[in-house]
């Protein structure tokens, strides 16, 4: 069932099985999918070789032109192709793993990008790339970069600040206006807080019978924040910063955002001056983190404690700013608004819980909360798992 990559003279040809996937078993389809991944990686390895030879013999500009003409990519992508291909020559292990189909192309590109940004341990990353899905691997790369950075993360943050970019243009295809931007993690987290806060406000004002899609709501939140800023009222952008207290030197050390992104101490002092930090020190007695049945909606302090514990959506790792506090035992069935009955979930995973029966499980080993898909009621029958015909609106909290 595997895809064969066949070369005739200089031409690469693919032999794709003629079997109808509908008639294959689940195991066969999974094997076939994994063979697609290996074939794509091997093709990417061959492409790298071709582009590098073009660049070595005719120069960078000619290689970019060849990529643009023959691969039909944009100018920007052609430039990136040539740069990435060149950097792979210095990353022998990654290149070898790519050419043998062991690591996917996107993973190899990420290793190449990280190698421009600073020192990395290539062997560790190439090994992780063999089995980690892309989003998990991207986190591994970031962690690896932090471990090899020679200061407390200041140089990484400086580079990220320098690479910030914003674009606003009218799409030629459909006349829609597109707004996009890339930001350093500190600015990005503050933007996420401001936008998600506005989004929650819009959600509360909506007619529950006639809701916008989450995407429409985010678009409206952005437009309102830009076009109708409320006079004198700044949007909420208080960051949750976690730090350790060094008892000996009586100072804060090892400051980080709740996803683990380190904050250089210089940056922390600057943020502290703006009073934009929510202290990550919780005194259970004074902060009232155990509300029982007194209150249904989680408080700001509880949300901060949840962000600290869950780090983001327990189902998909989405940023805490986009998450809602979900009652594991529903409020309507007597569930209390206490930390051990609350988890952070994003809107999509919240839907999975309420509409599709996904379950919150506390992992006995790690103590972390996880989201589990309900078991398939018709295993091996070739029938898709049962889905209720209607989606019900999800309750916030």
Cβ-based nearer residue to Zn ion, 40 or 259: 259
Which of these, 378, 380, 340, lies nearest to 360 by C-alpha position? 340
Q: How far is CA 248 from CA 8, 245, 251, 253, 263, in A?
A: 70, 9, 8, 11, 21
Residues 322, 200: Cα–Cα separation, whole Å: 9
Cβ-based nearer residue to Zn ion, 240 or 346: 346
Cβ-based nearer residue to Zn ion, 37 or 354: 354
Residues 98, 108 contacting (CB under 8 angstroms): yes
Least distance (Å) between residue 236 CB and Zn ion? 21
* Token pair 């291909």 in the structure block, residue: 85
Backbone angles phi, psi at 234, to 5 degrees: -80, 140
Least distance (Å) between residue 350 CB and Zn ion? 8
Least distance (Å) between residue 165 CB and Zn ion? 27
Note the residues at the interface with Zn ion (CB under 5 A): 313, 315-316, 318, 346, 349
Least distance (Å) between residue 306 CB and Zn ion? 14
Cβ-based nearer residue to Zn ion, 339 or 349: 349
Cβ-based nearer residue to Zn ion, 195 or 349: 349
Residues 238, 277 contacting (CB under 8 angstroms): yes
Cβ-based nearer residue to Zn ion, 82 or 318: 318
Which of these, 101, 8, 33, lies nearest to 16 by C-alpha position? 33
Least distance (Å) between residue 315 CB and Zn ion? 4
Looking at the chain, list the stretches that DSSP marks H as alpha helix, in order from N- to C-terminal side: 26-58, 60-71, 75-88, 92-99, 105-117, 122-129, 134-148, 154-162, 185-205, 214-227, 265-273, 284-287, 300-310, 347-356
Least distance (Å) between residue 323 CB and Zn ion? 7
Secondary structure (3-state) at 179 = strand
Cβ-based nearer residue to Zn ion, 55 or 303: 303
Residues 200, 216: Cα–Cα separation, whole Å: 13
Residues 344, 360: Cα–Cα separation, whole Å: 10
Cβ-based nearer residue to Zn ion, 68 or 303: 303
Least distance (Å) between residue 136 CB and Zn ion? 14
Least distance (Å) between residue 312 CB and Zn ion? 8
């Amino acid at each position: 069932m595997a895809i064969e990559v066949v070369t005739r003279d200089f031409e690469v040809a693919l032999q794709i099985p003629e079997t109808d996937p509908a008639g294959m078993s689940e195991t066969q389809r999974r094997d076939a999918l994994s063979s697609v991944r290996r074939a794509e990686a091997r093709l990417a390895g061959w492409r790298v070789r071709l582009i590098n030879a073009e660049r070595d013999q005719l120069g960078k500009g000619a290689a970019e032109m060849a990529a643009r003409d023959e691969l039909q990519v944009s100018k920007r992508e052609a430039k990136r192709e040539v740069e990435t291909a060149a950097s792979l020559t210095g990353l022998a292990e990654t290149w070898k793993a790519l050419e043998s189909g062991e690591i996917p192309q996107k993973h190899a590109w990420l290793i190449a990008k990280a190698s421009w940004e600073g020192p990395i341990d290539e062997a560790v990353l190439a090994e992780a790339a063999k089995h980690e899905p892309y989003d998990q691997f991207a986190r591994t790369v970031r962690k690896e970069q932090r471990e090899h950075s020679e200061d407390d993360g200041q140089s990484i943050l400086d580079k990220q600040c320098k690479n910030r970019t914003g674009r606003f243009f009218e799409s030629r295809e459909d006349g829609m206006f597109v707004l996009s931007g890339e930001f350093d993690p500190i600015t990005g987290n503050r933007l996420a807080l401001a936008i998600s806060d506005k989004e929650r406000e819009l959600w509360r004002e909506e007619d529950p019978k006639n809701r916008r899609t989450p995407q429409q709501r985010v678009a409206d939140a952005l437009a309102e924040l830009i076009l109708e800023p409320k006079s004198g009222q700044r949007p909420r952008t208080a960051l949750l910063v976690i730090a350790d207290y060094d008892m000996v030197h009586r100072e804060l050390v090892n400051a980080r955002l709740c996803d683990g992104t380190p904050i250089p101490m210089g940056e922390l002092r600057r943020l502290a001056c703006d009073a934009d930090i929510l202290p990550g020190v919780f005194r259970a007695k004074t902060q009232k983190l155990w509300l029982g049945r007194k209150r249904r909606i989680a408080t700001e302090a509880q949300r901060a404690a949840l962000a600290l514990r869950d780090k983001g959506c327990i189902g998909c790792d989405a940023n805490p700013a986009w998450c809602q506090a979900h009652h594991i035992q529903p409020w309507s069935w007597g569930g209390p608004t206490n930390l051990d009955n609350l988890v952070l979930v994003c809107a999509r995973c919240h839907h999975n819980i309420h509409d599709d029966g996904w379950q919150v499980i506390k992992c006995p080993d790690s103590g972390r909360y996880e989201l589990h898909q309900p078991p398939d009621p018709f295993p091996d029958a070739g029938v898709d798992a049962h889905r209720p015909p209607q989606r019900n609106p999800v309750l916030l909290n």
